[in-house]
Amino acid sequence: MLILKMPALVKPLCFPAVGSFLMIIQLSALSATKTASDMDMEAILSGIQYYNSLIQSGEADMTHTMIQKGAPMAEKMNGNLMNGTYKYHFMFDRNKMRMDREQAETDRFRRYTYIYFTGQWEWEMSEEYVNGKSSILYIYNTTVRSKFEQRDPRDYGEFDRDRFLNKNDFRVKGQEKIDNIVCYVLEHKNGKTRFWIAPEQGFRVLKTEYEYSLGPHYKGEDGKERYGIERNFISYEKHGEVWFPKAVDHRIYYIDKKGQKQLMVNYKTEAKNIRLNHQIPKEKFAIDLQHDADEIKVFLANSDEVLTKEQFIERYDSVIKSSNE
């Protein structure tokens, strides 16, 4: 049976029908294979790149549940554990994402909006109502990484060539099945990072695993440094050719003093009413200061400076205007 090499799929990206046809042939051939050598790193990365290119925009209603069991430092002192369920509407295009969160029972915010412009800035709006008065706090930050990546389902399953998977750092370790789906296991050269890639589900990542040290202050009874394990299990929903995450089970474990694995944190994220590749109004991703309240402040996270709304508009007028483009 003919096995087509995936790099050939990168060239016809301008012709989706041709690319789709070749991909179907590739996946049909793959189903009859059994050895890890049938697809090399370059072929797998090309498959990831191709399917990533099919996702231009989208939105969904999200539910994020956070259960914190404890942590190594809790062995020495009691801390506040953050538990709860948050619901929010999530939308994105190629460069930006937005999250509008509903007020939860444990949430002090009446309204909360978060917008992230990849590599440029992030913008937050939170409204509180205390003692009969409303207050709004805006936060502007030029940090280049989203602070809410754990609530963006794409961050668990969408990997690109430059940031995560490098053919020189990873190798195809073998094949394993997850829920009866054949996956290629990619392992980092350090032996502590692994991805399970499923070609039959658009080269999406069904599982990730990381091992990391807890640091020199946390040692076991044998005197050896203890470590943590972080795992993600991702399931997908198909929309045309696109596979989009519908549920993520994120678990963080640590190894206790006796060498036993203990669950420390469990995040569960679920997406419903998923819509993909439709036009989203650009103003949805713009910096918005049109809210009214008794008190309004703008906090500049990078300089710890607090401005009035008018001062922010005067200083960052060009940023505000460009966010609407």
DSSP code string of 133-160: EEEEEEEEE--SS-TTGGG-THHHH---
pLDDT digits (tens, 9 = 90+) for 41-85: 888 888 988 998 999 999 999 998 888 776 554 444 344 455 778
Asked if residue 130 is part of any domain, the answer here is yes
For residue 178, being part of any structural domain is answered with no
Beta-carbon contacts of 215 under 8 Å, excluding residues fewer than 6 positions away, are: 225
Strand 295-300 and strand 133-141: the pairing is parallel
Q: Let me know: does 90 contact 98? Beta carbons within 8 Å.
A: yes
Q: Which amino acid is at 256?
A: D
Tokens found for residue 247: 């549920």
How many angstroms separate the Cα of 257 from the Cα of each of 69, 80, 96, 157, 162? 17, 22, 43, 32, 38
170-178 vs 181-188, strand pairing mode? antiparallel
Q: Tally the domains of the chain.
A: 1
First to last CA, the chain: 50
Distance CA 240, CA 70 (A): 41
* pLDDT, position 294: 84
Q: Supply the range of the domain harboring residue 140.
A: 83-152+280-322
Could you tell me which residues come within 8 angstroms of residue 322 by beta carbon, excluding any fewer than 6 positions away?
Answer: none
Q: What is the CA radius of gyration of the chain?
A: 23
Confirm if 249 and 235 have CB atoms less than 8 A apart: no
In three-state secondary structure terms, 207 is strand
CA atoms within 13 A on the CB side of 274: 19
Mean pLDDT over residues 114-138, rounded? 87
Question: Which secondary structure element, helix H or strand E, spans residue 23, and what is its range?
Answer: helix 16-30
DSSP-derived 3-state class of residue 303: coil
Is residue 140 predicted with pLDDT exceeding 80? yes
**pLDDT for res 84:** 79
Phi-psi region of 173 (alpha: psi -120 to 50; beta: other; left: phi over 0): alpha
Q: Is 30 helix (H, G, I), strand (E, B) or coil?
A: helix
For residue 220, the model assigns a pLDDT of: 62
Residues 6 or more apart whose CB falls under 8 angstroms from that of 82 comprise: 66, 68
pLDDT at position 24 over 60: no
pLDDT > 60? residue 158: no
Q: Name which residue leads in pLDDT, 150 or 142.
A: 142
Length of the chain: 325
Angle at which helices 16-30 and 41-53 cross, to 10°: 140
Q: What is the pLDDT of residue 157?
A: 59
Q: What are phi and psi of 108, to 5 degrees?
A: -85, -15
pLDDT at 68: 78
The verdict on residue 39 lying in a domain is no
CB-CB neighbours of 47 under 10 Å: 25
The SS3 of residue 28 is helix
Confidence of residue 11 (pLDDT cuts 50, 70, 90): very low
Give domain status of residue 89, yes or no: yes
In a domain, 164, yes or no: no
List all residues 6 or more positions away from 295 whose beta carbon is below 8 Å from its beta carbon.
133, 134, 135, 136
Evaluate whether residue 98 is within a structural domain.
yes
Q: Is residue 165 part of a domain?
A: no
> CA-CA distance, 62 to 90, in Å (whole number)?
7
- Does 118 fall in a domain? yes
